[in-house]
Chain A
């Protein structure tokens, strides 16, 4: 089955700096890669996703890159703000007709210091 590794496990950045989180996956047939943000006491919330036919995707201060050959993908947050402090999870799946069975990385706790 799929295995997703995520690094680093914790990341502390100064407000306004950039944050980068990296993930690798094992199943070359995986074709869908979402990123989730989880705040204290809440469930994971989708912030951006990328599909295997695209190398990069941006949404305001957030961007994701995908390298299919190397089987890794990264989340980039620019101009970080205190409200970006949360736990971020990457995931991968080989999306099928019957459900989207995501395999998650271990999470990165991001702290943005004012």
Chain B
């Protein structure tokens, strides 16, 4: 059982829809991350939150909007996505500071039609 829980596990949405992905960590960590995993490509870092402040936005299009209301919860709000945005979206958490290991959730499989 992972200490990082992502919901929903699967999501199908049209290009004009608005949806949100949710991540919750039960590990007492204070940094949270969104990664995108596409077929045939390495995992891509999208956003990093450290102590609830966004410290990294890795050139992600504005149709992806993250939110971190507290150190245990992370959201990814989606709107007007493109078919190429279909991928597995992974949330991770870690302690802030130095080389703390990342712990991943099982991801949300997103399909944009």
Contact = CB atoms under 8 A, between A and B. Distances in A.
Contacts of A73: none
Contacts of A106: 41-42
Interface stretch (B13-21, B69-77, B92-100): B92-100
Contacts of B98: 95-97, 100
B94 A41 contact: no
Interface stretch (A11-19, A43-51, A63-71, A74-82): A43-51
Given A32-B99, A95-B99, A43 B90 contact: yes
A88 B34 CA distance: 19
Interface residues of B, number: 29
Contact of B106 (A42, A89, A95): A42
Contact of B43 (A44, A49, A51, A95): A44
Helix, strand, loop or mixed for chain A's interface? loop
A12 B98 CA distance: 36
B6 to A, nearest CB: 8
Of B33, B90, B100, B102, most buried by chain A (CB within 10 Å of CB) is B102
B104 A100 contact: no
B19 to A, nearest CB: 20
B64 to A, nearest CB: 17
Of A32, A100, A101, most buried by chain B (CB within 10 Å of CB) is A100
B106 A93 contact: no
Contacts of A97: 50, 96-98
B45 interface: yes
B92 to A, nearest CB: 8
8 contacts: A34-B102, A43-B6, A44-B90, A49-B99, A95-B99, A97-B50, A101-B56, A102-B45
Interface of B: 2, 4, 6, 31, 33, 41-43, 45, 48-50, 55-56, 90, 92, 94, 96-107
Nearest first, the 3 closest Cβ-Cβ pairs linking A and B are A43-B104, A95-B99, A32-B99
